[in-house]
Amino acid sequence: MKKYLLIGVSAFVLGAGSMAYVSSHALASAEPRAKTYRMLGLFGDVLDTVEHQYVTEVDDTKLIQSAIDGMLTSLDPHSGYLNPEDFQEMRDQTRGEYGGLGLEVTSEDGVVKVITPMDDSPAAKAGVKPGDYITAVNNESVLGLSVNDAVKQMRGKPGEMVTLTIAREKTDPFDVHVTREIIKTKTASAKMDGEYGVLRINSFGEKTTDEAQAAFAQLKAKNPNMKGLILDLRRNPGGLLDQAVGISDLFLEGGEIVSQRGRDPRDVERYNARPGDITNGMPMTVLIDSGTASAAEIVAGALQDRKRAQIVGLTSFGKGSVQTVIPLRGGMDGALKLTTARYYTPSGRSIQKTGITPDLEVAATRDEAQSIANRAFQFSEASFKNALNSQEGKVRVAAHEPAEAPPETFDAKKDFQLARAEDVLHYGSVAATPKLPKPTAKLAEIINTKARIAEVKPPIAK
C-alpha cells in the first residue's frame, strides 16, 4: 500500500507462543482490561437509551461515527475519524482538484477557524483572512459541527455561491459571498522580483516537489543571472511529509532533514538528503509567518539548522506532530487520522507549540506588529487547549514588540517582508543587514483589545 505521512499506513502484527502459566503481568493487566469492558458496556447502554428515548429517531451509524470522532479529537486537535466520504474527499484534495472555496480550516472550541485561504482561491479573493471564524454557511450555523461536517457545507458544485458568516477580531460579524470554483491544487510557482527569484509553495501535495523543481528550472533558464532565491512558505498549512523532505532535498547536498519519534523513544526514523542542490549553492532566504505550519515548518527548520538559508518573517505556527491516516477495511469504513509521532529538526529540536523562530523577525504591517504586541490575536498550535506539549518543556514566545515593521513611508502596496528577505540576500546575512527602528507597538493596548473581543463574542455564540 502506498505510504504517506501525513497520509500512510503502518501495520505491525506481534505474535507470541502460548504460556504454560499465568504471569504476574497478565494478572496486573486484567483489571484495566475489565474496566475497559465495563466502559464499552456503558457506551452500549447509552446508545440503547438514545435509540429508544430520544425525542426523534436517530441514525445509529452517525451516532457511532460521531462517538469515534469525539474519542480521537479528545486526544489532540489533529487526530480524528474520517467517514468513507470524508476519506475520499481528503484523497481527492491531496491528489488534485475538487469543487470548493480554497480554505484550510480547523476547529477551535466548536467554532470553525481559518488557518489560511489558498493562494488565488475564491476565499482569498473574497477577503477571508487567517484567524477568521466561520460561524455559519448559507445562513445555517456551523457552531459545534466537526470540521469535516462544516467543510462538506462549503464544498460542492462549482459556480454556486456560498455565503460565509465571518467573525473577526475588532469587527462585528459580517457575511462574505464566495462562488465555488474547481480548486486545482497547484502548489508551487516561481517569479522574479528584481535580481532575485521567488519560489512560492502554498501547500504540500503529491506533486509539490516536481512542481517546485520545474518552476525553478524554468525561472533559472529565463534568468541565468539570478543572484539569489527566496523560498516563500508564508500561509502554508503543510501537507505530506515526503514532499517536505523532497523540497528540503532540492537545496541540500546531504545530511539529515528531519526525524520522527513515536511513543517509544528508541523508535526513531530519520530522513536524509541526497547529493545535489538544484541552485548550485545560490544564496537563499526563507519567508515564514504564523500561518506556516507542519510540513512547511519541516522545510524551514531543516534549511535553518543546516545553515543553508536564513529565515525572515514571524514565528511559525508550531505544529510539530505527524499524523498517519489509517484506512479501515481498505477505506470502506473510512479511516483514522491519528497522531503517531513528533518530528524533530536536524539539531534535535521539537517545534511543537513553539514554532520556528526567524533569524530576522519582520511584521508584514504595522497592524500585525501591534497584534504581536497584544498577543490576543496570535493564532497558533499553542492556542489549542488539548495540543501536545513540547517534550523539552519550552513555551511559545510571549507578547513582545517585533524587531521590524514597515516604516510609515513604506509603500503599502509592496511586500515588506519580501523586501527585507531581499536585503538579507543583498548584504549576505542577517547580521550584516542594516536594522530598522523597532515599531511603536504598545503592549498596554491588550487591555482595550480584550474588552473589544468581549463585545464581539456574544453574537458569535448565538
Distance (Å) of CA 216 to CA 90, 126, 201, 227, 301: 28, 30, 11, 13, 21
Query: For cell 517546485, what's the residue?
Result: 212
Q: Would you call 109 a catalytic residue per the annotation?
A: no
Which helix (H) or strand (E) segment holds residue 353: the answer is none
Beta bridge partners of 140: 137
Compute the radius of gyration of the chain from its Cα atoms: 24
| Active-site residue (options: 69, 305, 359, 423) | 305
Phi, then psi, of 186 in degrees rounded to 5? -75, 120
As a whole number of Å, the end-to-end CA separation of the chain is 46
Burial class (CB in 10 A: 0-12, 13-18, 19+), 35: exposed
| Chain mean position to CA 401 | 25
| Active-site residue (options: 319, 321, 383, 423) | 319
Q: Would you call 305 a catalytic residue per the annotation?
A: yes
Note whether 77 and 318 are within 8 A (CB). Answer: no
Give the Cα separation of 9 and 331 in Å (integer). 12
Beta bridge partners of 287: 232, 312
Where helices occur in 54-121 by DSSP H, the ranges are: 60-73, 84-95
Give the Cα separation of 123 and 126 in Å (integer). 5
Sequence-distant (≥ 6) Cβ neighbours of residue 310 within 8 angstroms: 285, 286, 304, 359, 360, 424, 429, 430
∠ CA 136-137-143, nearest 5°, is: 35
| Active-site residue (options: 203, 294, 316, 380) | 294
Q: Would you call 48 a catalytic residue per the annotation?
A: no
Sequence-distant (≥ 6) Cβ neighbours of residue 167 within 8 angstroms: 111, 132, 133, 135, 173, 456, 459, 460
Active site residues: 294, 305, 319
